[in-house]
Amino acid sequence: MPTYVTTPIYYVNAMPHLGHAYTTIVADAYSRFRRFCGDDVRFQTGTDEHGEKIAEAAAKAGETPRAYVDRIAAAFRETWPHLSVEPDYIIRTTDADHVKTVQDILQRVYDQDDIYFSEYSGLYCKGCERFLTEKELVEGKCPDHQVEPKSITEQNYFFRMSKYQEWLIDHIKANPDFITPERYRNEVLSFLSEPLEDLCISRPTSRLIWGIPLPFDPNFVTYVWFDALINYLTGIGYPDDPNFSFYWGASEHVIAKDILKPHAIYWPTMLRAMDLEPFQRLHVHGYWNVDATKMSKSLGNVVRPRELVEIYGVDTVRYFVLREMSFGLDASFSGDAILARHNADLANDLGNLFSRSLAMIDKYMEGQVPAREKASLLTPDDRELMSAVSAMVAEYREYMEAFAFHKALQAVWEVIGLLNRYIVANAPWELAKHPRQTERLRTVLAFLAEALWKITLVLGPIMPETAAKMATALGMGDRFASAVIDDAVIWGQIPAGTVVGQGGQLFPRVEKKVEAAVPAAAGQPAKKEAAPVQEEGLISFDQFKTMELRVAEIVAAEKVAKSDRLLKLTVKAPEERTIVAGIAQHYSPEALVGQKVIIVANLKPAKLMGIPSQGMVLAAKEQQANGTERLVVTTVAGPVAAGSRVA
Distance CA 261, CA 263 (A): 5
Using CB under 6 A as the binding rule, whether residue 8 contacts ligand MSP is answered as: yes
Using CB under 6 A as the binding rule, whether residue 258 contacts ligand MSP is answered as: yes
For the beta carbon of residue 632, count every other beta carbon within 10 angstroms.
12
**Residues near 74 by beta carbon (within 8 Å), at least 6 away in sequence:** none
Q: Which of 3, 4, 5, 22 binds ligand MSP (CB under 6 A)?
A: 22
Distance CA 647, CA 642 (A): 14
Q: 37 catalytic, yes or no?
A: no
Using CB under 6 A as the binding rule, whether residue 397 contacts ligand MSP is answered as: no
Using CB under 6 A as the binding rule, whether residue 287 contacts ligand MSP is answered as: yes
Burial of 389 (C-beta count, 10 Å sphere; 0-12/13-18/19+): buried
Q: 342 catalytic, yes or no?
A: no
Using CB under 6 A as the binding rule, whether residue 19 contacts ligand MSP is answered as: yes
Distance CA 162, CA 70 (A): 37
Q: Which of 43, 288, 354, 507 binds ligand MSP (CB under 6 A)?
A: 288
- Residue 451 CA from chain centroid, whole number: 25
Using CB under 6 A as the binding rule, whether residue 144 contacts ligand MSP is answered as: no
Q: Which of 4, 5, 23, 214 binds ligand MSP (CB under 6 A)?
A: 23
Q: 294 catalytic, yes or no?
A: yes
Q: Which of 4, 11, 220, 587 binds ligand MSP (CB under 6 A)?
A: 11
Output b/e per residue, 82-95; b: 16+ Cβ within 10 A.
Answer: bbbbebeebbbbbb
Query: Smallest distance, Å, CB 274 to ligand MSP?
Result: 16
- Select from 223, 93, 231, 224 the least CA-distant residue to 157: 223
Nearer to ligand MSP, 294 or 397 (CB): 294
For the beta carbon of residue 120, count every other beta carbon within 10 angstroms.
14
Helix/strand/coil for 284:
strand
Using CB under 6 A as the binding rule, whether residue 255 contacts ligand MSP is answered as: yes
Using CB under 6 A as the binding rule, whether residue 229 contacts ligand MSP is answered as: yes
Using CB under 6 A as the binding rule, whether residue 233 contacts ligand MSP is answered as: no
Q: Which of 228, 265, 314, 514 binds ligand MSP (CB under 6 A)?
A: 228
228 close to 7: Cβ distance less than 8 angstroms: no
Q: Which of 4, 5, 20, 573 binds ligand MSP (CB under 6 A)?
A: 20
Q: Which range in 197-205, 270-278, 292-300, 374-382 contacts ligand MSP by CB under 6 A?
A: 292-300
> Could you tell me the CA-to-CA distances from 409 to 169, 183, 315, 547 in Å, in that order?
35, 23, 13, 23
25 close to 322: Cβ distance less than 8 angstroms: yes
Angle between helices 438-459 and 380-401 (to 10 degrees): 0
Contacts of ligand MSP in 24-63 (CB under 6 A): 48
User: Which is the catalytic residue, given 50, 53, 98, 128?
Assistant: 128
615 close to 643: Cβ distance less than 8 angstroms: no
Query: Smallest distance, Å, CB 255 to ligand MSP?
Result: 5
Query: Smallest distance, Å, CB 222 to ligand MSP?
Result: 13
Nearer to ligand MSP, 300 or 417 (CB): 300
Using CB under 6 A as the binding rule, whether residue 125 contacts ligand MSP is answered as: no
Distance CA 341, CA 413 (A): 12
* β-pairing verdict for 549-559 and 596-600: antiparallel
* Interface map 411-440 toward ligand MSP (x if CB under 6 A): ------------------------------
Distance CA 20, CA 71 (A): 17
Q: 433 catalytic, yes or no?
A: no
Q: 17 catalytic, yes or no?
A: yes
Q: 145 catalytic, yes or no?
A: yes
Query: Smallest distance, Å, CB 25 to ligand MSP?
Result: 11
221 close to 249: Cβ distance less than 8 angstroms: no
Q: Which residues bind ligand MSP (CB under 6 A)?
A: 8-11, 19-20, 22-23, 48, 228-229, 231, 255-256, 258-259, 287-288, 294-296
Known catalytic residues?
17, 20, 125, 128, 142, 145, 294, 297
